[in-house]
Amino acid sequence: MRLSRSRPFRSPHHSSTVAGMIGGGANPEPGEVTLAHHGVLFLDEVGEFRRTVLDVLRQPLEDGRVSLVRYGYSITYPARCQLILAANPCPCGFLGSSSKDCLCTSGELASYRRRLSGPLLDRIDLQVWMDRIQAHEYHSSAEPSMKVRERVMRAWEHLKALDADQEVIEESRGAKDVLSRAVEKFQLSARAAVRIRRVARTIAVLAGSKEIEAHHLAEALTYRLSL
Ligand SMILES: [Zn+2]
């Protein structure tokens, strides 16, 4: 395998096979999830990927590695990547758009949702609805990546300082209440609750806070569209 000093960005086509995604073959080779190790695995138009190909991503996402069994021996590849999925809101692409009406039937919408939902989506921590970009917005000045980078680096420093002082970011009483109410109302799995708490912790760290407050937890909940 080629060694690189920059973080990988892999964007496999939606016709990818299971072996192409997680590795395999008669002479086993690493798949996309391993080639994206310590980088980004980006699946565009995720609804077009075969369900079986998406399903095999679940284990590497949990474990950060892929284990393949071949003729009685097993091979393990590293697979710790950031998974980013993009999908249209509906088959015609205009559901919820402010510029055009969606023309999909309710049957089409239901079958499209079924394809996107399920165990893989349950493992996606941040789910954000984006409207179509208008022509004039292409030229508007969004926050530059360097600024975002500075904010992330500050959060890293903050975390390192907390670690050095052996401090742990605890949840406030209010945050605990928000989470337990959400668990009850949306019947959240233990996995979902853990992930929401983790996102809330990141939000708290980015804000320079020493504890997870109720509004950090509430914001984390808004990133689960599948609730
Ligand atoms: Zn539509």
Tell me the HSE value of 194 on the side-chain side, using a 13 A CA sphere.
Answer: 6
* 9-132 under CATH 1.20.1260.10, yes or no: no
* 142-222 under CATH 1.10.760, yes or no: no
Whether the per-residue pLDDT at 117 is higher than 70: the answer is: no
What are the two backbone dihedrals, phi and then psi, of residue 40, each rounded to the nearest 5 degrees? -115, 135
User: How far, in Å, is the centroid of ligand 1 from the Cα of 72?
Assistant: 48
Given this model, what pLDDT does residue 183 score? 93
What average pLDDT does this structure show over 32-36?
96
User: How far, in Å, is the centroid of ligand 1 from the Cα of 108?
Assistant: 8
Given this model, what pLDDT does residue 33 score? 96
**All structural domains of the chain with their residue ranges:** 9-132, 142-222
Whether the per-residue pLDDT at 1 is higher than 70: the answer is: no
User: How far, in Å, is the centroid of ligand 1 from the Cα of 80?
Assistant: 34
Please, which pLDDT band fits residue 138 given cuts at 50, 70 and 90?
A: confident
Instruction: Give the integer Cα–Cα distance in Å for 183 and 186.
Output: 6
What average pLDDT does this structure show over 185-196?
89
Least confident of 70-74, 84-88, 92-96, 203-207: 70-74
Given this model, what pLDDT does residue 227 score? 53
User: How far, in Å, is the centroid of ligand 1 from the Cα of 130?
Assistant: 15
What are the two backbone dihedrals, phi and then psi, of residue 12, each rounded to the nearest 5 degrees? -70, 155
User: How far, in Å, is the centroid of ligand 1 from the Cα of 134?
Assistant: 18
Please, which pLDDT band fits residue 225 given cuts at 50, 70 and 90?
A: low
Please state the length of the chain: 227
Q: Which two tokens stand for residue 87?
A: 């999908």
